[in-house]
Each structure stands twice: as structure tokens, then as C-alpha cells.
Structure 1
Amino acid sequence: MNTKQIFIFLFALSVLSCKNETASKNERVQVVTTTSMITDLVKNVGGDLIDVQGLMGAGVDPHLYKASAGDVTKLANADIIFYNGLHLEGKLVEVFEKMESATKTQVALGEQLDATTLIGSDYFASNYDPHVWFNIQYFKEFVEVVVSTLSRKLPQHADQFKANGDAYIAQLTTLEKEVEEIIETLPEEKRILVTAHDAFNYFGKSYGFNVVGLQGLSTATEAGVKDVQRLSQFIIDNDVKAIFVESSVPRRTIEALQAAVKAKDRDVIIGGSLYSDALGDAGTIEGTYIGMFRYNVNTIVNSLK
């Protein structure tokens, strides 16, 4: 065997070795998720039976998110893609469409819900408010869809996915009861939630809050001077004690609103920062859906009392 033949053999051997190593690493189902809320849910259901890669981390605004080259690679290599849908990830829709194939499963969780129960919206092509995770019952339905999808992909582990899903739903039921008890301590006339954008309408519908967002449903729209003046007067007229910034939206719009109220010789405090379109930092309590929801409710209620 001459030198050239040896080189070709070694090269082929190395390629085969790499392929075998890749196959070994990829025995588990490769799942890609978009928002951090969905990432947390899928990890709770899939456990160590799947590999999950989330595209959006803490503080990331899904309305404005654009896929990087690395994201496209992750999506291309995925067996399953779970995303919110209802045009929340508007700038990723075209990427998802190009990724469609017979071997890849794509699930828009929000689009599995009963559309007749959703809140209408003129801001999105779907004509529905996409912030559906703020209805815990909807999030439970997401769990069922994820369990079903993973079970079809890995039928040998269907019982484990079902057990994981049931356990997580039990935690969500406990969260529901806790949230209701906390909110009951806030008088109904004080349940006015003013935030940077209208991410909390499903929350408001569930718990009797009048929700007003400065930017509307999408952060892609800018709040104008008239919006600030209109809302500042609303705050004064309704004696609103606190307004809220959001972790995924710049503070400046709410700070401008606070200044507008002050210019009219009234005061309103910034009650804290709420998690709206993304969870908190990974590894923190607020980095989980349940921790985020509990934190938001306590922050809102304590500030508005």
C-alpha cells in the first residue's frame, strides 16, 4: 500500500469514525424549542430521554427575534421543533416553512388550542393574541401535546413521558390554586395592570384584571406621545398606584409614562419588572415557568395593594 493509498484509507476511517460517533451522540431525539417557557415545559416532559436546545434565553423578545446561522443549523438537525405559533415568532415563520420535511416534526403549540377561546388581535396575521402561556390551563394543554408528540416519536418511552407530563400538570394545578389565593387578597377595584406591552391579556381574563399595555400586543410597534399622554391620564383617573416594566422590553417607555404622570402633579411608582415574553436567567427560580408565574403574581399584587 503506497503513501497515497494509506492517506485515503486513514481519511476514510476517520470519516467513518466521526459518523459513528455522531450517530452515538444522536441516538436520543433532538428537540429544538423557541421561547424559554416552551423549553422549560419540554424539559419537564422529556427529561433525560431527549436532547433539548432552546433558541431564546432570558430577556429575549420573540416578536423581534431573528434566526442566526447557528439557529438554522440547530433547526435543520432537529427531529422535532416546538414553537408557540400564532405569529409570536413572526420573523422565524419563513425559516420554519423552509424546514418542513417528511422526517421533521414541527408543532405550533398555540395553534393546537381551541381558537374560539382565544383573544382576538389585529396586530398578528393569526388574528389572535399569542401570549397564551399566561393562561395556566392552556399551558396544561401544551403539556398534553408535547407528551403525545414525544410518545409518537419514541413509543418505547410513552409511559415515561405520560408520567412526567402528569407530574408536571399536578405542579401546574398547585400553582393555579396558589395564584388564586394570592390574587384574592387584592381588592377587585385595584386590579388594573399597566405594563410596557399587552402581554398579560390572558392573565387578566383569568383573574379579573383590567390590562393596559403601552405598546399594544407586539413590541414591534412603538408607543407614541399620544399613547403616553392617554395612558397617563388613565392612571390618574383610576388612581393606579404602580406600573410595571418587562424583562424583555426596554424600560424607557414605562419611565416616560411615569414622567408624564409626574408632570401632571401625580405620582405612580414602578412596581417592578415582570417576566412577559421570556423567563428569568437559567438556574434561577424565575428561570422556570412555575417560578416566573409565582414571581409575577407576587410582584403585581404586592405593588398594587
Structure 2
Amino acid sequence: MRALSSRPRGRALLPAVLALLLTAVASGCAAEGEQRSGIVVTTNILGDITRNIVGDQAEVTVLMKPGADPHSFGISAQEAALLENAELVIHNGLGLEEGVHRNVEAADQAGVPTLAVGEAVDPIDYTEGETQGQADPHFWTDPVRVRQAVDLIAAQVSEQVDGVDTERIQANAEEYGGQIDELHEENTRAFAEIPEERRRLVTNHHVFGYLAQRYDFEVIGAVIPSGTTLASPSASDLESLSSAVEQAGVPAVFADSSQPDRLARVMAEEAGLDIEVIPLFSESLTAEGEGAATYVEMTRANTDAIVRGLTRE
């Protein structure tokens, strides 16, 4: 009797157990879906651009801190998890974020939509140095390409991020895009003040190729003949660049503000000329109040510095 009575109880419990299991599976799926949220951006330059487009429509997490070097910055395990659980990852691409490339790839393989902005705005190649022939990732020195990036980011946010008001995203993109168009016009007028024979750039590494192409500058060379700050120049590199600088007669060398300008000064001393070393905000935004807290502020500061450096007597 006892055995017979136990079997009906088991059969009676079976539907309840199945119901609990189905509820747990459904809850697990819901939790997994809820984990994918927000937009994660690798560099602070793209982060500022993205925040101007997104506004209050979604959470935007920027991995790169102000003043950091995009070639060398790395992220924590917690930040890597944010990448893999985002609704959209926006990164520069073209080899810029050397320290987080594998994390972006992992997010992509996990099914997270990723946008490599630099690859989508008609990239150019380096024309000299050890990276000659490779794609140049520093597209943001050309506001015209940044304007293209604004539309690309807006389209991806509207398509990939749930719950955003796409009309608001588009309106934000148009408003911010207008600021970028104005920035390009300002640059064109400002650079017109530089005599043609002085439109020659020497930097601490190859970073202004896009600016040179857009505004008709000649890049004489770079102290570090590479597209990354992680490389180092040889004695022969410095010697040949010093000779080129002497022949070109440039009055200034431009060094990234986030990197020591010691090498640029050594090069100037090698040339034996009166050459000013002028800092530019070429790779990273700064904290508030330090001269380049936004992309627009950074670009204006750089334009002013280049005009001042190349028109001085």
C-alpha cells in the first residue's frame, strides 16, 4: 500500500517540477538578455563624438581615460566583460587600440555588434617610415572624415540599441555634424594664413597624414618613423630627419602632449637650428580645463598651435 501510494504522489509532483524548470530556464534567458545593454567605446575621442550623438538616449561607457595613449592603454577584466555584454561596441580599428584589440575581437565573436569607425571612412595609407603602405588609423585629424563618422555612428546606434528614439538620434547627429562642418571651415580659413612654403609638418610620430591631405600640408617626417608611439627611433633616423628639417627650414616641430617631447628636442639639437617644440593634442582628449576636453576643443587648439608655430618669425 505504501509503495502504491507513493507513485501517484510522484506523478502529481512531475508537472510542478517541470513548471519550475521551465520558469528557471525562462528566467535565465531573460537575465542573459538583460545583460546586453549600453554602448561601449574604446577611445575617448570616439567617446566624445558618440556621446554628442546619443545624448540621453542610452548609456555610453568610454574605456580610455583622458590623457591616455590609445596605442598602449589596456583594460581590466571588468571592462572586458562590459565589452562582451554591450549592445554595441564602437572602436577605431586599423590597429590603433593595440592593447584592447583582442578584447574587441572577443566581443565580436560573442555576437556583439561592433563598428570599426576608421575602417569605414576611406582610410589612407602611411606614405613613409616603417609603417609605409599600412592603413593610417588617425582619421580624426580630418574633420570631413569625422563628419562621415557621425552619420555612421548614428545609423548603428539607431539600428542596434533597443529603446532609443531614432528621430532624436538623427537630430543630435545633424546638430553635432553641423558643428564639425563649421570646424572644417574654420580650419580652412586658419590654415590659409600659413604661406605655402611653410606648410610643412614634423611631428613626434606619424599622426597628421589625414590633416596634411585635407589641408595641403607636406609631412617632412616624424621623430619616431612609425604610426605608433610604442616604436623608438634609431640614431640614423634622427640624423636623416634632422637633415630633412634643415633643408626644409621648418620653424617648429610638433609633439604629442601625452608623450615626452625629449626626442623632438634631441632632433632639434641635432639639426643645430632654432626650432620650437610645440605640443599638440593628437592622440587623446584631456580632462576638463586642460585644453582639449572635447574633440572640437582639441581640433581648435591644434589648429591654433600649428598656425602659430608655422607663421612665427
- Larger deviation, residues 96-105 vs 34-43: 96-105
Distance 1:197 1:64 in 2: 14
- Please, which of 222, 231, 234 is the counterpart of residue 213 of structure 1? 222
Q: Give the structure-2-normalised TM-score.
A: 0.81
**Residue type of the alignment partner of 1:114:** D
Alignment partner, residue 14 of structure 2? none
- Please, which of 162, 172, 177 is the counterpart of residue 154 of structure 1? 162
SS in 1 for 2:59: strand
SS in 1 for 2:61: strand
1:274 deviates by: 0.3
User: CA contact under 8 A between 2:126 and 2:132: conserved in structure 1?
Assistant: no
Alignment partner, residue 11 of structure 2? none
Q: Which runs of 5+ in 2 are unaligned?
A: 1-26
Distance 1:66 1:126 in 2: 27
SS in 2 for 1:141: helix
User: CA contact under 8 A between 2:143 and 2:184: conserved in structure 1?
Assistant: yes
- Larger deviation, residues 62-71 vs 212-221: 62-71
- Larger deviation, residues 174-183 vs 95-104: 95-104
1:140 deviates by: 1.0
Q: Give the structure-1-normalised TM-score.
A: 0.83
1:228 deviates by: 1.1
User: CA contact under 8 A between 2:125 and 2:133: conserved in structure 1?
Assistant: no
SS in 1 for 2:213: helix
Q: Within 5 Å, which residues of 2 pair with 1:55-204?
A: 55-101=63-109, 104-114=112-122, 118-120=124-126, 127-152=134-159, 153-154=161-162, 157-204=165-212
1:250 deviates by: 2.3
Larger radius of gyration: 2
Distance 2:130 2:92 in 1: 16
Task: State the aligned residue count.
Answer: 276
CA deviation map 1:186-218 (0-9, x unaligned): 101011111100100100111111122111212
Distance 1:164 1:126 in 2: 36
**Residue type of the alignment partner of 2:271:** V
**Residue type of the alignment partner of 2:69:** D
SS in 1 for 2:201: strand
**Residue type of the alignment partner of 1:143:** V
Distance 2:84 2:258 in 1: 27
User: CA contact under 8 A between 2:36 and 2:85: conserved in structure 1?
Assistant: no
- Please, which of 234, 239, 250 is the counterpart of residue 229 of structure 1? 239
Distance 1:162 1:112 in 2: 19
- Please, which of 48, 54, 72 is the counterpart of residue 40 of structure 1? 48
Matched, 1:252 2:262: yes
Identical pairs, percent: 29
CA deviation map 1:225-263 (0-9, x unaligned): 11111111212111111112212322221121122123x
User: CA contact under 8 A between 1:28 and 1:49: conserved in structure 2?
Assistant: no
SS in 2 for 1:195: strand
SS in 1 for 2:292: helix
1:126 deviates by: 9.2
Q: Aligned in 2, Cα 1:39/1:126: closer, same or farther, shift over 3 Å?
A: farther
Q: Aligned in 2, Cα 1:237/1:123: closer, same or farther, shift over 3 Å?
A: closer
SS in 2 for 1:214: strand
User: CA contact under 8 A between 1:245 and 1:251: conserved in structure 2?
Assistant: yes
SS in 2 for 1:286: coil
Alignment partner, residue 303 of structure 1? 309
1:77 deviates by: 3.2
1:123 deviates by: 5.6
User: CA contact under 8 A between 1:196 and 1:254: conserved in structure 2?
Assistant: yes
Distance 2:197 2:133 in 1: 33
**Residue type of the alignment partner of 1:165:** A
Alignment partner, residue 4 of structure 1? none
Q: Aligned in 2, Cα 1:268/1:285: closer, same or farther, shift over 3 Å?
A: closer
Runs of 4+ in 1 over 6 A off after TM superposition: none
Q: Within 5 Å, which residues of 2 pair with 1:14-53?
A: 29-53=37-61
Q: Which runs of 5+ in 1 are unaligned?
A: 1-18
Distance 2:91 2:134 in 1: 17
User: CA contact under 8 A between 2:58 and 2:164: conserved in structure 1?
Assistant: no
Provide the aligned C-alpha RMSD in A: 2.4
1:154 deviates by: 3.5
